[in-house]
Structure 1
């Protein structure tokens, strides 16, 4: 890395990534007339939703797990011609329409990667994949969290093929094989249901129990049903919804799945209406956690065995920002105010790394609005800027919403959607900020020479 930036754009904000978070950030900055430069390593906008982008974890069966009704960006709802739960290509189309409608696409520099970010002279020296270094006044990291897989330990005695769900794409990888899927999240459920259609055998290994939420409740999307219902205290809501789920689905253990060891909503929601049907038909075989693997024989914790030739580990991702990991504290869940503002490093932000129990686009837009308003204050109102920086350094709001989230690596930085929204709105009010969602003239884009 060059020790001295070759180009200086100290009045410009760098936005890294042109997925949902990057697009929301670009819109918010442009609406306030703030100069920004946006880079995207792939050839188009969309982030992980572009299945053709190298490194994308998308697979053909992937759909939104939040409904179309509640998933669009503020001021730009998803079209009513879309199904309740759009597939990945429809989501990508929506993102590209959003970018085009707000004049964002032409302002992105595609095919350019960031390899390093470090503090420098009151801003940040950013090194790109061509070796050049540019200084920016602020950096917003919007590169997402689903790129670095978390793999389980497989014994050396195993000869079975192992892949992470990140590398799964379509049915051709499963056809005629004996497939074991490890995990209990949304990807695991989708993939094992795919395997049930074309594999010789489809097995699902879950070391612990989860609550499974149907995509529709009484004929409407589950999140719409919840939004329309009465707002009860969280403990009451957990009890009521848990009761409803057992009446709709029956108890998971009746189908051979582990009994949930937590209350509903204490882990990331798993929305799937097909897994239970596949289990009821005998098309998916449930197994507990893995005890050992010798050759191609997998032994489970209950003593049962399966002979398999493909293991797909749907075991999640490490939430890392490899090009700026030290600036974010070195761990997987950095200590960020409102999940977005670096407490230690002024002008450093991360948007799109929030783990919460609802659709993401409203949250990334709300955080982008906060970042843009804060940067506008740096330009226009230094006293307000200093006031907010003090809040960032010292306030530690409780964003759990009264839910005791699961003690696991994924949930270490988890927040409740309602609590996050409420506090974000409180902050907007305290600072006298308002959201800017209009379609501005093209923003000033400073592209390094």
Structure 2
């Protein structure tokens, strides 16, 4: 029977996993390589080997209500989109509130994780750790790997002819910290993800010239959505997900394109995605279109080749002088402390059931947490993964047969265009609500909206038409939280609190009531006349 659990990493996934273990009465020991918790969201001026790195100005792309843990809302005075320091503060508050720190061994690296000699009967693991240059071996009943996928830069220099002759400087976006390095320089950013665009926008305030090279293009959107509300609280609802998943793929693609282009015409700005049959993660940046229209940033096609002091783009013979190249080309990942037989990574993906379990392990006591790119905040996803995994460890939830798991894995690997709903451009990307609901259903935490409607119609409507916040998964099932209902009913209050800092009396509030009364009168009149 599983009792002791080794957890690798004390970032968002690691903290959620510690708490999930404690909820199930397990004994977690978390090994953290650095001297503090927080993982990606802990800013440091230096780059740590094997650890995620972020730049000073990073702001979250998911708002606080959508990225909160399910039983711990953010303080109401926190801004909706959080600078990295605020997220780090929230993680500290979370760890303190649930007394998680005492389960973490800091400055302790995991060297190797191997099956115990009697793994076939016990499912146990030998875990070798290193601290102060001393190694120690321990036996654990189960292991949760929470190291993420943002620590190993993907930098295929061989695909950029001439880069070795380039006399300027070049580096991966992982090594960027502050924009002063671009002062007076001519800058090229290769790649158009969120980091690449953020860096280009920052560089444009100091550089002589900034260009972004993209072969695929991308949809760009603002964090500020309809009526000034956070984009994800408007877009990520159960109702909207039902609509998207019920319509043919081409219609969904057209709807997304139409919605994105309401802000500005992406074709006119050189941004429109090349393949619109699949959804690439949109770029969330409030400044990009204004920087393009004012000439601070220029969008260019794929790089054809580099020269000593310049670059030539595809379908062009003209040389563009440049001084610095930033490769925002994403990340790959590996697990050097695990044998390849336990987890094989190919083409930046791994064969894991629900992105978590190796289907061929006789005992499902090894789980990979957070190796997924959901189209939403990661905190709700990894928290539910942890809650399910710990119940699998205890034998309270069972995995399906190996053949069933492999069939699902192989179907995902093929990443075929879906007839209905959204198709993503990478295997690791997934539709958030569909995935999270499936995990929640395994542990009995998925809310039954229809049944709830007959007991509490107000709450049911909030759940169905309102934002799909993580509090939904604490209304019922194991780990039920008494504050979940109130958290859902007050989520818009916490959203508006930090922005309504200047409240004035609105003299026009009486007018909408008159319009509503007139509308009701007109409706009743129409019904009455219709029966005449």
The TM-score normalised by the length of structure 2 is 0.74
Consecutive unaligned residues in structure 1, runs of 5 or more:
1-8, 378-383, 440-449
> SS of the counterpart of 1:422?
helix
How far residue 241 of structure 1 moved from its aligned partner, in angstroms, is 2.9
Greater Cα shift, 165-174 or 231-240: 231-240
Equivalent residue for 1:427, pick from 442, 445, 455: 442
Residue 176 of structure 2 is aligned to residue 133 of structure 1: no
Q: Name the structure 1 match of 2:156.
A: 152
Q: Name the structure 2 match of 1:213.
A: 221
How far residue 323 of structure 1 moved from its aligned partner, in angstroms, is 1.7
Distance in 2 separating the partners of 1:392 and 1:16: 26
Larger helix proportion of the pair:
2
Q: Name the structure 1 match of 2:422.
A: 403
Equivalent residue for 2:243, pick from 232, 255, 270: 232
Q: Describe the superposition over 1:337-394 as per-residue Cα deviations: whole angstroms up to 9, x where unpaired.
A: 11112212331100011111111111100000001111222xxxxxx56xx1345663
1:268-347 equivalence runs, <5 A: 268-303=281-316, 304-324=318-338, 326=340, 327-331=342-346, 332-345=348-361, 346-347=364-365
C-alpha distance 430-69 of structure 1, shift in aligned 2 (>3 A) = closer
Equivalent residue for 2:183, pick from 161, 169, 175: 175
Residue 373 of structure 2 is aligned to residue 363 of structure 1: no
Q: Name the structure 2 match of 1:443.
A: none
- The one of the two structures with greater contact order (alpha-carbon pairs below 8 A, sep at least 6) is 1
Q: Describe the superposition over 1:410-435 as per-residue Cα deviations: whole angstroms up to 9, x where unpaired.
A: x132221122022112322399x934
Q: Name the structure 2 match of 1:17.
A: 9
How far residue 335 of structure 1 moved from its aligned partner, in angstroms, is 1.5
Residue 210 of structure 2 is aligned to residue 194 of structure 1: no
1:242-253 equivalence runs, <5 A: 242-250=257-265, 252-253=266-267
C-alpha distance 293-97 of structure 1, shift in aligned 2 (>3 A) = same
> SS of the counterpart of 2:360?
coil
Q: Name the structure 2 match of 1:444.
A: none
Distance in 2 separating the partners of 1:171 and 1:280: 21
Check the 8 A contact 1:182/1:314 in 2, yes or no: yes
C-alpha distance 78-393 of structure 1, shift in aligned 2 (>3 A) = farther
Q: Name the structure 1 match of 2:270.
A: 256
> SS of the counterpart of 1:247?
coil
Distance in 1 separating the partners of 2:208 and 2:78: 34
Number of residue-to-residue matches in the alignment: 416
The TM-score normalised by the length of structure 1 is 0.87
Check the 8 A contact 2:32/2:104 in 1, yes or no: yes
> SS of the counterpart of 1:125?
strand
Q: Greater CA radius of gyration, 1 or 2?
A: 2
Greater Cα shift, 237-246 or 347-356: 237-246
CA RMSD of aligned residues (A): 2.4
Consecutive unaligned residues in structure 2, runs of 5 or more:
413-417, 447-475, 483-532
Q: Name the structure 2 match of 1:124.
A: 125
Distance in 2 separating the partners of 1:344 and 1:300: 46
Check the 8 A contact 1:337/1:392 in 2, yes or no: no
How far residue 182 of structure 1 moved from its aligned partner, in angstroms, is 0.8
Distance in 2 separating the partners of 1:313 and 1:422: 36
